[in-house]
Amino acid sequence: MASQLAALNQWVEQVARLTTPDAIHWCDGSDAELQQLQRGMLEAGILLPLNPDTHPNCFLHRSDPGDVARVEHLTFVCTKDRDDAGPNNHWMAPEAAHEKIDALFAGCMKGRTLYVVPYCMGPVDSPLARCGVEITDSPYVVANMRMMTRMGAAALARIEREGRFVKGLHSTGELDPDRRFIMHFPEELTIKSFGSGYGGNALLGKKCHALRIASYQARQEGWLAEHMLIVGIENPEGKTHYVAAAFPSACGKTNLAMLIPPAAYREKGWKVWTVGDDICWMQPGPDGRLWAINPEAGYFGVAPGTSAKTNPNALAMLDRDAIFTNVGTTADNQPWWEGLDGVPALDWQGRPFDRANGPAAHPNARFTVSAKQCPSYSPEAENPQGVPISAIVFGGRRESLVPLVFEARDWRHGVLVGASMGSETTAAATGAVGVMRRDSMAMKPFCGYNFADYFAHWLSFDRADLKLPTIFHVNWFRKGSDGKFLWPGFGDNLRVLEWMIGRIEGRLPARETPIGIVPDAVDLNVEGLAMAPGALKTLLEVDVEAWQHELLSIGEYLDGFGPRMPAALRQEQARVASALAVMAPRPVARAANA
């Protein structure tokens, strides 16, 4: 099989000459093809069957112990001008990058099959969708891409019609960490990844295409490619508001995407619909609103921490037709990770479980599953026009300072809120507790160009002809003096979303503060919550003096991106700082070493 598109055929032939595979297979995305792939991987030990009674058509993959996560230090954005990549990316000149990685690709597929994987990010008939082709020598990647994208004949047909596609070349190589690179060439719409079989490094439709390359494309074409979930909130009257939300890791992103309303809300008729859990592409529609699609067709989720308590919807979709990567197993061969009932027999490396070796599942263990298996799946995920976004939510993990929720006063202020968002690290993540790290729009590892230009692109949507979403910031992680969380989180986060909807619909009054609009305690429904006395007051308070220090820190952060930083964002930071100064009991001096 070959394509009707000469440019695609020529590229495949060029890659085949470089990598010298034993065979070339053009993927059509059929069930028969998948079954053949699965049989081959079972025979080769790439996949291991799980208990067919409890988990039919589910498989376990154990990756190389040195290849278990994204490798940011080996991930490069390769633009002609270094400043176009920006200080937020590792940079390499395109010519040098091609030369370096092509030397690794030379002959790397000898003895292997070269798979040509045409895919579409988003519904195949959506004007918001974009297509790509990944060439890989990993059948595991092919099986995952089939779940994560619209892969196969229909995608190829669109590529042939449009004549354009993102090129992605991948090989697992020898899985040698010293011979591993993930290169992005946004000006060429090209990705090259060598030496890793791990999801984010190898499933090139995901972070590489859908964020790093797509963010560059979006800037050129006037839309936004964002690291955001999309969730629909349906009220008892049957009206649904769609919310896009960006959170750094370990901040409850997937839990919010699949939120189950509290019992009292369910009884009144509230419903939550999951459109996407990770990536959101937004584009202005004819009506001036931002319309969004989830470009993915599946979930590549973190397994540890997914439990009946934290995310029952996610757990419910994992009992069939799923691939598990680097989880443990029970004595009766069911997948297991920390947070589940039962006892592990083997750890993620296939060894008898021993606590001395660490957790049974790798902390970054994953599941891959079709989005349609989620109990809260929204059929609107397949709507080619997308869904209209009513609100954009930013959030981080802050033990103090940041209120439970506040609303940006306008779009420009909202861009500052997103640009300055951050999280305090946990010991599990870094070995250091409480270090505040900024992760603008949760895009720090994923923006394919200079953050200063990215902020300017966000600001460019502030136009009279657009009806932009309201921007909010949330913080589920504020703690009291006893070190305990003040807010219950999980399903009760719907109470905060209800307040947002009240604000969007103009039904609730505003309490203006220098940092934004904060709820009055009476406007937040906490009926039935067992909260400590004074907890709600603490959750909603704005410490003016502490926020002055925060605004100084934000100013220094923005300065770090140099002369490209848009003046409008600096002016907005100065406006908030001035509003705080008016209310402050005494001025806050800039730190001596700042």
Residues annotated as part of the active site? 251
Q: Which long-range contacts (CB under 8 A, 24 or more apart) does 583-592 make?
A: 583/514, 583/544, 584/544, 584/545, 584/548, 585/544, 585/545, 586/545, 588/545, 588/548, 588/549, 588/552, 590/552, 591/552
370 annotated binding-site participant: no
Write out the E strands in 227-305. Answer: 229-234, 240-246, 271-276, 280-284, 290-293, 298-302
Which residue, among 315, 313, 370, has the nearest Cα to 337 in the 3D structure?
Answer: 315
254 annotated binding-site participant: yes
366 annotated binding-site participant: yes
DSSP 3-state of 71:
coil
475 annotated binding-site participant: no
Contact 366/325 with Cβ under 8 angstroms?
Answer: yes
Q: Maximum distance among all alpha carbons in the chain?
A: 74
Q: Which amino acid is at 67?
A: D
Torsion angle of C-alpha atoms 437, 220, 228, 248, degrees rounded to 10: -10
Task: Please report where in the chains the tokens 């001035």 appear, as a residue.
Answer: 578
492 annotated binding-site participant: yes
CA–CA distances in Å: residue 567 to residues 39, 216, 508, 511, 570:
58, 21, 33, 28, 5
Distance CA 172, CA 135 (A): 11
Burial of 17 (0-12, 13-18, 19+ CB in 10 A): exposed
300 annotated binding-site participant: no
110 annotated binding-site participant: no
Which residue, among 373, 371, 8, has the nearest Cα to 158 in the 3D structure?
Answer: 8
564 annotated binding-site participant: no
54 annotated binding-site participant: no
251 annotated binding-site participant: yes
CA–CA distances in Å: residue 17 to residues 137, 182, 400:
14, 21, 58
Which residue, among 43, 376, 18, 59, has the nearest Cα to 229 in the 3D structure?
Answer: 376
DSSP 438-498: E-GGG-TTT-SS-HHHHHHHHHTT--TT--PPEEEEE-TT-B-TTS-BSS--GGGGHHHHH
Contact 560/420 with Cβ under 8 angstroms?
Answer: no
Task: Please report where in the chains the tokens 């934004």 appear, as a residue.
Answer: 516
206 annotated binding-site participant: no
Contact 369/296 with Cβ under 8 angstroms?
Answer: no
58 annotated binding-site participant: no
Region of 293 (left: φ > 0; alpha: ψ -120 to 50; beta: rest) is beta
83 annotated binding-site participant: no
**φ/ψ of residue 183, rounded to 5:** -110, 135
313 annotated binding-site participant: no
DSSP state of 430: H
Distance CA 253, CA 485 (A): 18
Distance CA 527, CA 407 (A): 22
Q: Please, which residues bridge with residue 119 across strands?
A: 132, 151
590 annotated binding-site participant: no
The whole-angstrom distance between residue 173's C-alpha and the CA centroid of its chain comes to 26
252 annotated binding-site participant: yes
294 annotated binding-site participant: no
422 annotated binding-site participant: no
CA–CA distances in Å: residue 273 to residues 270, 276, 279, 404:
10, 9, 16, 23
What are the binding residues for Mn(2+)?
Answer: 207, 227, 278
What are the binding residues?
Answer: 70, 198-200, 207, 227, 249-255, 278, 364-366, 397, 490-493
What are the binding residues for GTP?
Answer: 250-255, 366, 397, 490-493
What are the binding residues for substrate?
Answer: 70, 198-200, 249, 364-366
